[in-house]
Homo-oligomer: A and B are copies of this chain.
Amino acid sequence: MTDQTTPRLSEDDLIARYFRPLATDPGAFRLGDDCAVLTPPAGEELVLKTDAVAAGVHFFAEDPWDLVAKKALRVNLSDLAAKGARPLGYLLALGLPADWTEPQLAAFAAGLKADQGAYGLSLLGGDTIRSPDGLIVTITVLGATPVGRMVRRGGARPGDLIYVSGTIGDAALGLKLRLDPGLKIRLGLGDREAAYLLDRYLLPRPRLALAPVLLAHANGAMDISDGLMLDVSRMARISAVDAEFDVAKVPLSKAAHAALQADPTLVETVLTGGDDYELLLTLSPEVAEAFERAAFATGLTVTQVGRISEGSGKVHARLTGGRDVAFTNAGFSHF
* Bound form: Cα–Cα A234–B56 in Å: 36
A147 at the interface (CB under 8 A from B): yes
Q: Which of B47, B93, B134 contacts A51 (CB 8 A)?
A: B93
Q: Which residues in B have their C-beta under 8 angstroms from that of A335?
A: 11, 14, 96, 128-130
Q: Is A133 an interface residue (CB 8 A)?
A: yes
Point out the residues of chain B lying under 8 angstroms from A12, CB to CB: 234
Question: Residue A147 contacts which of B39, B93, B333 (CB distance < 8 angstroms)?
Answer: B39
Is there an interface contact between A46 and B46, defined as CB atoms closer than 8 Å?
yes
Asked if A57 and B132 sit within 8 Å, CB to CB, the answer is yes
Report the separation of the CA atoms of residues A163 and B145 in the bound assembly, to the nearest whole angstrom: 42
Give the copy number: 2
Q: How many whole Å from A211's CB to the nearest CB in chain B?
A: 12
Q: Give A12 to B231 CA distance when docked, in angstroms.
A: 12
Selected from B34, B83, B133, the residue in CB contact (under 8 A) with A153 is B34
Chain B residue contacts of A51, Cβ below 8 A = 93, 127
Chain B positions within 8 Å of A131 at CB level: 54, 133, 136
Say yes or no: is A125 at the interface (Cβ < 8 Å to chain B): yes
Q: Do A153 and B57 touch (CB < 8 A)?
A: no
Cβ-defined contact, A127 with B50, below 8 A:
yes
The answer on a CB contact under 8 Å between A50 and B130 is no
Partner of A333, one of B10, B79, B143, B152: B10
**B residues in contact with A35, CB < 8 Å:** 47-49, 79-80, 83, 85, 143, 150
Q: Report which of B29, B58, B140 forms a contact with A50, defined as CB distance below 8 A.
A: B140
Residue ID in chain B nearest A145 by CB atoms: B37
Listed in ascending order, the chain A residues whose CB lies under 8 Å from chain B are 10-12, 14, 29, 32-40, 45-58, 79-80, 82-83, 85, 91-93, 95-96, 124-134, 136, 138, 140, 142-143, 145, 147, 150, 152-154, 222-223, 234, 238, 333-335
**Nearest 9 A/B pairs, CB to CB:** A133-B133, A50-B91, A11-B335, A140-B140, A138-B138, A52-B93, A39-B45, A132-B133, A34-B79
